[in-house]
Amino acid sequence: ISCTLNNLKLISDTIASSGLNASLASLSTILTETTEILEKINKGKGSAGQLLTNDLLYSNLSESLESLNLLLQDMKANPKRYVHFSLFGKKNIPSE
């Protein structure tokens, strides 16, 4: 029994000196904070929560991205529609 108790004490001392307790406490804190964040997201709080739970927001954002993509494609295809540059000044173009 004495030998077994000495072995248990040695194992316990090794664990204590290795910082395992501090690592486990840190891991516990991280898991708690992660759980809190995920609960907020599931409740629709914050940007990520709204994006995941609000169908209208998702739809509007998707439509906006599609419109932006079409605009960028048109800007690449027709840059003169959007960028007017002259080294010698602006021409007076009559308005329609």
33 has a pLDDT exceeding 90: yes
pTM for this prediction: 0.51
Identity at 15, one-letter amino acid code:
I
pLDDT, residue 80, reads 86
Tens-digit pLDDT profile for residues 45-89: 999 999 889 999 999 999 999 999 999 999 999 988 888 777 776
Task: Provide the b/e sequence for 34-50 (b: ≥16 CB within 10 Å).
Answer: eeeeeeebeeeeeeebe
Can you give the residue ranges of every domain in the chain?
A: 1-53, 55-84
Distance (Å, rounded) from C-alpha 66 to C-alpha 74?
Answer: 12
Distance (Å, rounded) from C-alpha 31 to C-alpha 23?
Answer: 12
Q: Binning pLDDT at 50, 70 and 90, where does residue 95 land?
A: low
42 or 13, which is more confident? 42
